[in-house]
Structure 1
Amino acid sequence: MLKALLFDLDGTLADTDPLHLLAWREVLKPFGLEVDPLFYRKRISGRLNPEIVKDLLGWEGERAEAIIARKEALFRTLAQGLRPTPGLPELLEKAKAKGLLWAVVTNAPKENARHVLEALGLEPPLLVLAEEVGRGKPDPLPYRVALKRLGVGPEEALAFEDSPAGVRSAVGAGIPTYALLTGHPKEALLEAGAKGVLRDFREVSF
């Protein structure tokens, strides 16, 4: 029996990926890196910031933290007037009426996650941050932590993601997962293990 809905944040609750792309483009431009949509999908989307910076620039430690801080500050400046993915408010109302639990599971830094949730007017009962559990997606740990804290089994939950890394994380935790087509092609999401793809939450039915 379904007891909980688990949501990724960026690209799932709101289409924030275009803003992240713009922010990364701006901070990486001085280093000769051109961040177009294909580059973003392949090298950035769904990954933790330290991994991104190490991969693209070979930086770790304070130098990496400084450029990450610049990028995230720029993102928060851009992320004003965010709107939820169509169908999300209605889905959460249905979930509440059915007594379902829900949580947000994200690789986003805490400050960004709270900024986006506040902009969307959302207060999830549980927020699981990869940076606080020690490993990020595609590792299954963030979703395993969410299941444990909610007290539900993987077969009693549904996950919603938008990136192959996120899908692999949720599926790796044993959770049936649906993927939104906000940033990645259908084939890549299904290959990662998604049960199906959605244009938005208006296509969800219990």
Structure 2
Amino acid sequence: MLKALLFDLDGTLADTDPLHLLAWREALAPYGLEVDPAFYRARISGRLNPEIVRDLLGLEGVEAARLIAAKEARFRELARGLKPTPGLPELLAKAKEKGLLWGVVTNAPKENALHVLKALGLRPPLLVLAEEVGRGKPDPLPYRVALRRLGVAPEEALAFEDSPSGVKSAVGAGIPTYGLLTGHEAEALREAGARGVFRDFREALGLL
């Protein structure tokens, strides 16, 4: 029996990836890196910031923190007037009617997550931040923490993700997971373990 819905944040609740791409493009340009959509999908999407700058630039410590802070401040400047992914309000309303729990599980830094949720007018009963649980997606730990806090079994939840990294995290926690085609190809999401893909949440209403 379905008891809970779990959502990724960026690229899932709202199509924020174009804004992240632009912010990363500006942040990495001084280092001679050109960030196009293919590069973003392959090297950045779904990963934790410290991993990204360590992988791309070999940076750690103070310089890495400074770069990340500047990039995220720029993202928040860009992320005003956000709109939810089509069908999300209807899906959440239907979930409320059915008495389902819901929550957000994200690799995003806390300040960004709160900024995006406020911009969308959303107050999830549960917010699990990878930076607070100690490991980020694709590790299943953030989703395991979400299940534990909600008191539901993996098979009693559904997860919605937009990146292969996120899908692997939720599937690794045993949760039936669906992919949103906001940034990655259907094949990549299915290969990561998604049992189905949707263009937006209007196509997911039939799940409830």
TM-score where L is the length of structure 2 = 0.99
For 1:125 and 1:33, the matched residues in 2 are separated by 39
Aligned to 1:27: 27
- AA partner of residue 57 (structure 1): L
Residue type of the alignment partner of 1:13: L
Match of 1:13 in 2: 13
| Corresponding residue number in structure 2 for 1:121 | 121
The unaligned stretches of length 5 or more in structure 2 are none
SS at match of 1:179: strand
Shift of 1:26: 0.1
Partner of 2:139: 139
RMSD, aligned CA: 0.3
SS in 2 for 1:91: helix
Q: Confirm or deny that 1:38 pairs with 2:38.
A: yes
- Partner of residue 164, structure 2: 164
AA in 2 matched with 1:69: A
Separation in 1, partners of 2:190, 2:62: 37
Aligned partners of 2:108, 2:45: CA distance in 1, in Å?
11
Offset at residue 162 of structure 1 (A): 0.1
- What one-letter code is carried by the residue in structure 1 that aligns with 2:155? E
Deviations 1:40-86 (A, max 9, x none): 00000000000000000000111100000000000000001000000
Match of 1:99 in 2: 99
* Structure 2: distance between partners of 1:103 and 1:61: 32
Shift of residue 183, structure 1, vs aligned partner: 0.2
Instruction: State how far apart, in whole Å, the 1-side matches of 2:179 and 2:64 are.
Output: 31
Determine the C-alpha separation between the residues in 1 that align with 2:183 and 2:203.
Answer: 17
TM-score (norm 1): 1.00
What is the CA–CA distance in structure 1 between the aligned matches of 2:168 and 2:129, rounded to whole Å?
Answer: 17
In structure 1, distance between residues paired with 2:64 and 2:153: 37
Which of structure 1's runs of 4+ aligned residues deviate more than 2 A?
none
CA distance in 2, matches of 1:62, 1:190: 38
* One-letter amino acid matched to 1:104: V
Counterpart code for 1:122: L
Whole-Å Cα distance in 2 between the matches of residues 117 and 8 of structure 1?
Answer: 12
Per-residue CA distance 1:3-53 (angstroms, 9 max, x = gap) = 000000000000000000000000100110000000000000000000000
Alignment of 1:55-94 (within 5 A): 55-94=55-94
May I ask how many residue pairs the two structures share in their alignment? Answer: 206
> 5 Å matches for 1:145-160?
145-160=145-160
Amino acid at match of 1:169: S
Instruction: Report the counterpart of residue 173 of structure 1 in structure 2.
Output: 173
Aligned residue in 1 for 2:183: 183
